[in-house]
Amino acid sequence: MSESSAIAAPPARARGWTIAVGAILLVAVLPLAFHGSYARSILVVCAINVLLAIGLDVVIGYAGQLNLGQSAFFAIGAYVSTLLVTLVGVGFWGAFLAGTIGAALAGAGLALFAVRLRGHYLAIASMGFAIIVYQILMNWIGLTQGPLGIYGIPPPPAWHLLGIGRIEFSDTRNLFWLVAAVALAAYLLLRNLLRSPVGEALVALREDELSAASLGIDGARWKVFAFAIAAALAGMAGCFYASFVGTLVPDAFFITESFTVLAMVIVGGAGTLLGPAAGAILLTVLPELLRGIGDARLVIYGLALTLVVLFMPGGMAQAARLLVGRAQSRRRLR
């Protein structure tokens, strides 16, 4: 290791630990700052959307593959876990594991099927997969109840902790802490994974697939890996969504959900992981803040997305880098 890299490494690790500690403190404090059930419900949705966004960022931001099937994997996780709990009697965590694995296998299967596709062809194939899954959920009434929906889905079972007592996840505050803890753990694991040679292989695939192949990088294998990771996180989000809402209807997993998650990644800044997490929070909270102005909120929402794509293609991450760069320049001038 060179002297310059040895000097640069500790600040990078320090920034990582700062982000992690700050996120833990924020997760701990937020439910205490908001007392209403509505506000805490928005916090739970934010944590669920963070799982969806950081998973999709692995495919789009790192592997460079356009995936519009995230809503399908979201639905698979939700329905697999719910059907196991309600029909088979499997416990929540067993169903959670099955839903996550089922979504991951579906993602890997889609990638194997579409391994030779790139760009908009892959986008069309993944969107078609999402539409197929939606139609199955809508029309297989004997299993999914179709548009009638599945009701009475229980929350995760309570925990009994020594010194704390019984923790009920029917309380949205406790449920937020649970979902946010899983989302934070997923973020930290992905962050370390993507800073390893795994991340370098995915970025090489994103930059130039032919050049990556000449270096011995198996593009097909890494596409399957990226899709499986993204689908697994979407499956986790679906499991939590079903237990949070208590009701499942196919309309919650229409193709528009994929575009919403895609917007979160783009607005936050693809290929940064932290950016899509911030984008998920912003695009979950912003429509709620604008709800008081009626349908005009949709115009403002759409205008904001358009301006970001046109003038800040790197999203919130690019804006943050520019602000930090300007602050450092002013500090040096002083």
Amino acid at residue number 194 = L
Strands (E) in 19-83, as ranges, are none
| pTM of the complete model | 0.88
Which runs of consecutive H residues, i.e. helices, occur in 246-311? 256-268, 274-289, 296-311
Answer for the pair 58, 224: CB distance below 8 angstroms, yes or no.
no
Q: Go through 256-287 and write b for each residue having 16 or more CB atoms within 10 A of its CB, e for each that does not.
A: ebbebbbbbbbbbbbbbbbbbbbbbbbbbbee
Report the candidate in 125, 138, 145, 21 with the shortest Cα–Cα distance to residue 82: 145
Element (H, E) at 50: helix 37-57
User: Residue 317's closest CA among 83, 53, 8?
Assistant: 53
pLDDT at 184: 92
Determine the average pLDDT of the residues in 218-224.
87
Q: What would the mean pLDDT of 74-98 be, rounded to a whole number?
A: 94
How much is the pLDDT for 248? 93
What is the Cα 12 distance to its own chain's centre?
24
How far is 212 from 208, CA to CA, in rounded Å? 6
Whether the pLDDT of residue 4 is over 60: the answer is no
Dihedral over alpha carbons 298, 302, 308, 311 (to 10 degrees): -130
List, in sequence order, the alpha helices (H) in 167-268.
Answer: 172-194, 197-207, 209-214, 219-245, 256-268
The pLDDT of residue 11 is 56
What are the sequence ranges of the domains in the chain?
Answer: 1-32, 34-254
Residue-wise pLDDT for 305-316, tens only, equals: 787 777 776 777
| Helix (DSSP H) and strand (DSSP E) numbers for the chain | 14, 4
β-pair type (150-151, 165-167): unpaired
The confidence score (pLDDT) of residue 6 equals: 41
The percentage of the chain sitting over the pLDDT mark of 90, rounded to a whole number, equals 41
Q: DSSP 3-state assignment of 34?
A: coil
- Which single residue is written with the structure tokens 């890494």? 222
Q: Are 50 and 109 in contact (CB under 8 A)?
A: no
Average pLDDT over residues 118-139: 90
C-alpha to C-alpha distance for 144 and 118, rounded to whole angstroms:
33
Cα 302 from Cα 17, distance rounded (Å): 35
Yes or no: say if 268 and 275 are a contact pair by the CB < 8 Å rule: yes
Quick one: pLDDT band at residue 10, thresholds 50, 70, 90?
very low
pLDDT of residue 103: 95
Measured CA to CA, the distance from residue 13 to residue 32 in angstroms comes to: 30
Share of the chain above pLDDT 70, in %: 92
Greatest mean pLDDT among 13-17, 168-172, 289-293 lies in 168-172
